[in-house]
Structure formats: structure tokens, C-alpha cells
């Protein structure tokens, strides 16, 4: 028996089905960017080094602790840990204990003596499937890949959550700045309207200029309802990401108060294969699908199971532990599928196709990651250029308004020219807030596209 077990253990070193090898995707040497845009290499910093605003950091920490989607991902990780334990269990012998008492009466008509007979037993039950073809090891391999995938899914959700909280925060800061600017503009135009009305009453100007001032005021006032609605939407969105009920959010910040990380090390395209959580999840899905091919293939071969019973049996309960009552039985069973209408062969074919789909999904995820990084790198560079040009536009319109107001006060131009200068300056101020917000949003997007600075927990 020992020789046979040693022989079976030797055979267990091999498992049918393909061993996993990472597909060769021929990654490019560098990310695609426009000429003149320099890329840097290096380790991607953790999120606190990128999002350095203390209030934003506090919100992100609350989200990482309380977000419900992230909590569900952690629960799935714990489930995968349990599934791996269950998948590995058949690799080891199972041992159970059974105790029983039986009373039997043999019929006199069938050769019995018409008496009752008692039997008491206390047995250990051993069962072990000899995993010669690797059926159980391939299943454990798939479960291990699922576990690692669940871990990377937690990282993916963490990176996504950090980016989403940052985006909601930046949008909320922008809306609050625009609302503050609009309220200030409305107050200024109300005062200008009163002056124009007084001048009209004194006969210095006509009613046309009063009407023009009213139009200018109404144009500013109409922005307020939309901005207030946007503020509520972003506050509710942010609260949900934090795992909290809808409520206001105190973001007493302007973009001047928020540090901006001007650049991130893009690294090499091949780094994404190891760094981006969604790419790792896709690859581990391929690893699991590859292992399932081995499971389906091993299911075509005989299954060998070793079972045994050992313990004591006695006709009298008081003698159950007597050494003379020892009993044992050992069985080696073989089960070979003969006919199942092609079900097992079809399962193998299906497993191969599932592996092919997983490989295509992995390749597509890698392509999507390269696309995202390229778009984000260029978008961040263009947003920086746009913010600079919008700042110059704001400065130019401010100077235009100053000159127009001076010339109007000297009677050189009409009030319509002043209103036009006011309108252009107001629009430029709003546009500059949007441009700076987009800079922060694209930095958050690039950080996520590069894989984020996830942290092992």
C-alpha cells in the first residue's frame, strides 16, 4: 500500500491542461504623445502626494473607510479567500468520525435463529481523491487566481474612488467659486442699475441705458439657479461616494488654495501590465480561465479515490474499546466516464472558448489603458495651455473694462460699450475657473489612468 501511495504522489506532480504564460502583446516603447511633450519615468507617488489639499485628503480618507462599493469589494475578497480554502480542501485527505448502534432481528423463515443481535461501532472514516491528472490542483489554481483578482479589484475600486471623490470635490470648488463670482457680479450690477436710474431721473441719460443695465443684471442673475442646482448635485454625489446621506459639504476653498501637482511620472507602457489594477484583474481572469481548461480536461480521465474505515466494533457496548474489537477496511476506487452524450468533451470545448474570450478581454483592457494614458497626458498638457491662455484673456478683458469705464465717465463712449466689456470680463472669469478646474480633473484622470498609488492593506 505504501508503495502505491508513493507512486500516486509521484504521478500527482503532473497536471493536464496548459500552464499559464502571459500573452506577448508587443507593447510600444513609449506612450503616444504629441511632439515636444516630455515624459518622465519613476515610481508613481501615493495619492496623498498628488492630492495635497488637507480638506480633500480628509474626504478621501472618509470615502476609503465608508464607501459601500469599496466595502462590497472587500467582502468579495473575503469570500474569495474562503473559496480558495474550499478549493484546496480536496487536495488533502478528509477524516470523519462515526459512531453507531444497530439492533438486528433475523427471521426464522430465512435461516435465522429468531433472536436479536446488537452491534456497536466507533470508526474513523478516511477519504482521499488521488489527484493524478490535476483536476483538484487546477481548481485550486483557478481559485487562487480569483483570490488575487479580488485583491486587485479592491485596489481598482480604491483608485477609482479616490479619482471620483477628487473630481466631485474639484467640480464643487469650481461651482462655489463661480457662484461667489456671480453673486458679486449681480451685486455690482444692481448698484450700477441704481446709478443709471438716478442719472435717468436727473435727465443725464435716456431710458435706453437704464434698459441696457437691466439686461446686464438679468444676464448675471440667470446663472444663479443653474449654479445652485449644480452645487447640490455635486454635494449629493460627494456624500454618496463617502457612504453618507445627502447633505451640504463645506468646501471653503478656492483653486488658489489647492496645491496642484504639475506632473506625474508616466513610466513605460509595459509598467501598466503590473501597475494598473484593471489590467491585473483582466489578466488574472485569463489565468483562472486557463486553469479551468485543465479542470475540464482532467475530467475526461479516471478518478481514483482511496477510502478507509478503521476503529472498533462490538456486540456489547461495554466491550467497544477492547483491543479485540479492532476493525478496518481499505478501498481503492476508480471511476471512468464511458458515455455522457459528449457532455465532458463539450465542457472542455467551452473552457477553451472561455479562455479565448478572457485573452481577448485582457488584450482589449491593455489597449484601453494605453489609450487612456495617451489621452490623459495630452489632455493635461492642453489644459495647462488653455488655463494660461484663459488667464491672459481674463487680464485683457479686465484692462478692457477699466478703459471702457474710464472713457464712458469722460463721455467718449456710450454705456453699451461698458456693458460689453463687463460681459466679456465676467465670461472670462467664469471660463478661467472652468479651465483651472479642468486642469485638476485631468490630473486626477491621469493619476487613475497610470494605475493610481494604491496601497496594500
Taking all residues of the chain, what is their mean pLDDT, rounded to a whole number? 87
What whole-number distance in Å separates Cα of residue 278 and Cα of residue 70? Answer: 15
Q: What is the pLDDT of residues 272-323, one digit of tens each?
A: 999 999 999 999 999 999 999 999 998 888 888 888 887 677 766 666 566 6
pLDDT average, residue stretch 333-342: 77
pLDDT average, residue stretch 336-348: 83
Cβ pair 298, 134 in contact under 8 A: yes
Kindly give, in sequence order, each residue whose CB lies less than 8 Å from that of residue 194, ignoring residues fewer than 6 positions away: none
pLDDT at 24: 92
What whole-number distance in Å separates Cα of residue 81 and Cα of residue 86? Answer: 9
Cβ pair 181, 104 in contact under 8 A: no
Residue 62: closest CA among 238, 237, 252, 234 = 238
* Paired strand residues for 116: 105
**Choice between 5 and 106, residue whose per-residue pLDDT is larger:** 106
Q: Is the dihedral of CA 135, 138, 139, 140 positive or negative?
A: positive
Q: What is the pLDDT of residues 104-122, one digit of tens each?
A: 777 666 655 667 777 777 7
pLDDT at 5: 35
pLDDT at 6: 38
pLDDT at 321: 64
The CB density around residue 1, as the number of other CB atoms within 10 Å, is 9
What whole-number distance in Å separates Cα of residue 224 and Cα of residue 379? Answer: 29
Lowest mean pLDDT among 204-213, 388-397, 423-432: 204-213
pLDDT at 322: 67
pLDDT at 12: 39
CATH 2.60.120.10 fits 104-128+303-335, yes or no: no
Confidence of residue 391 (pLDDT cuts 50, 70, 90): very high
pLDDT average, residue stretch 190-212: 89
Q: What is the pLDDT of residues 215-253, one digit of tens each?
A: 999 999 999 999 999 999 999 999 999 999 999 998 878
What whole-number distance in Å separates Cα of residue 105 and Cα of residue 117? Answer: 6
pLDDT at 123: 76
pLDDT at 3: 42
* Paired strand residues for 120: 101, 314
pLDDT at 315: 65
What whole-number distance in Å separates Cα of residue 361 and Cα of residue 282? Answer: 7
The CB density around residue 108, as the number of other CB atoms within 10 Å, is 10
How is the chain split into domains, by residue range? 15-92+131-301+343-449, 104-128+303-335
Q: What is the pLDDT of residues 123-174, one digit of tens each?
A: 778 888 888 898 899 999 999 999 999 999 999 999 999 999 999 999 999 9
Q: What is the pLDDT of residues 417-446, one digit of tens each?
A: 999 999 999 999 999 999 999 999 999 999
pLDDT average, residue stretch 171-179: 96
pLDDT at 415: 87
* Paired strand residues for 98: 123
Confidence of residue 369 (pLDDT cuts 50, 70, 90): very high
Q: Is the pLDDT of residue 343 over 50?
A: yes
What whole-number distance in Å separates Cα of residue 135 and Cα of residue 132? Answer: 8
Class at the top of the CATH hierarchy for domain 15-92+131-301+343-449: mainly alpha
Amino acid at each position: 500500500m505504501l508503495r502505491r501511495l508513493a507512486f500516486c504522489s509521484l504521478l500527482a506532480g503532473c497536471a493536464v491542461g496548459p500552464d499559464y504564460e502571459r500573452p506577448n502583446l508587443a507593447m510600444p516603447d513609449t506612450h503616444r504623445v504629441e511632439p515636444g511633450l516630455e515624459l518622465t519615468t519613476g515610481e508613481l507617488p501615493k495619492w496623498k502626494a498628488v492630492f495635497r489639499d488637507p480638506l480633500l485628503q480628509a474626504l478621501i480618507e472618509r470615502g476609503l473607510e465608508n464607501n459601500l462599493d469599496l466595502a462590497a469589494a472587500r467582502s468579495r475578497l473575503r469570500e474569495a479567500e474562503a473559496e480558495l480554502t474550499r478549493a484546496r480542501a480536496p487536495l488533502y485527505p478528509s477524516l470523519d468520525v462515526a459512531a453507531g448502534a444497530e439492533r438486528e432481528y433475523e427471521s426464522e423463515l430465512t435461516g435465522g435463529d429468531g433472536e436479536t443481535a446488537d452491534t456497536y461501532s466507533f470508526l474513523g472514516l478516511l477519504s482521499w481523491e488521488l489527484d493524478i491528472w490535476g483536476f483538484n490542483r487546477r481548481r485550486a489554481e483557478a481559485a487562487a487566481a480569483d483570490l488575487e483578482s479580488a485583491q486587485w479589484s479592491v485596489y481598482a475600486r480604491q483608485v477609482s474612488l479616490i479619482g471620483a471623490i477628487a473630481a466631485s470635490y474639484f467640480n464643487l470648488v469650481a461651482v462655489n467659486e463661480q457662484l461667489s463670482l456671480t453673486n458679486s457680479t449681480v451685486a455690482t450690477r444692481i448698484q450700477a442699475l441704481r446709478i443709471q436710474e438716478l442719472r435717468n431721473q436727473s435727465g443725464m441719460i435716456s431710458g435706453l441705458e437704464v434698459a441696457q443695465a437691466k439686461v446686464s443684471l438679468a444676464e448675471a442673475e440667470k446663472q444663479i439657479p443653474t449654479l445652485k442646482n449644480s452645487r447640490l448635485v455635486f454635494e449629493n454625489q460627494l456624500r454618496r461616494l463617502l457612504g453618507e446621506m445627502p447633505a451640504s459639504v463645506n468646501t471653503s476653498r478656492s483653486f488658489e488654495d489647492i496645491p496642484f501637482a504639475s506632473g506625474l511620472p508616466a513610466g513605460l507602457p509595459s509598467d501598466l501590465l503590473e501597475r494598473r489594477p484593471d489590467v491585473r484583474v483582466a489578466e488574472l481572469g485569463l489565468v483562472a480561465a486557463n486553469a479551468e481548461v485543465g479542470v475540464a480536461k482532467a475530467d475526461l480521465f479516471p478518478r481514483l479515490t482511496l477510502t478507509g474505515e478503521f476503529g472498533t466494533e462490538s456486540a456489547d457496548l461495554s466491550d467497544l474499546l477492547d483491543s479485540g474489537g479492532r476493525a478496518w477496511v481499505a478501498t481503492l476506487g476508480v471511476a471512468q466516464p464511458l458515455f455522457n452524450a459528449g457532455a465532458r468533451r463539450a465542457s472542455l470545448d467551452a473552457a477553451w472558448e472561455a479562455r479565448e474570450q478572457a485573452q481577448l478581454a485582457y488584450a482589449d483592457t491593455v489597449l484601453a489603458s494605453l489609450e487612456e494614458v495617451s489621452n490623459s497626458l495630452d489632455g493635461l498638457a492642453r489644459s495647462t495651455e488653455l488655463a494660461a491662455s484663459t488667464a491672459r484673456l481674463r487680464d485683457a478683458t479686465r484692462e478692457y473694462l477699466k478703459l471702457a469705464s474710464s472713457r464712458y465717465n469722460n463721455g467718449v463712449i456710450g454705456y453699451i460699450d461698458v456693458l460689453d466689456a463687463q460681459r466679456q470680463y465676467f465670461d472670462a472669469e467664469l471660463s478661467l475657473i472652468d479651465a483651472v478646474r479642468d486642469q485638476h480633473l485631468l490630473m486626477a484622470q491621469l493619476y487613475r489612468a497610470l494605475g493610481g498609488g494604491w496601497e496594500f492593506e
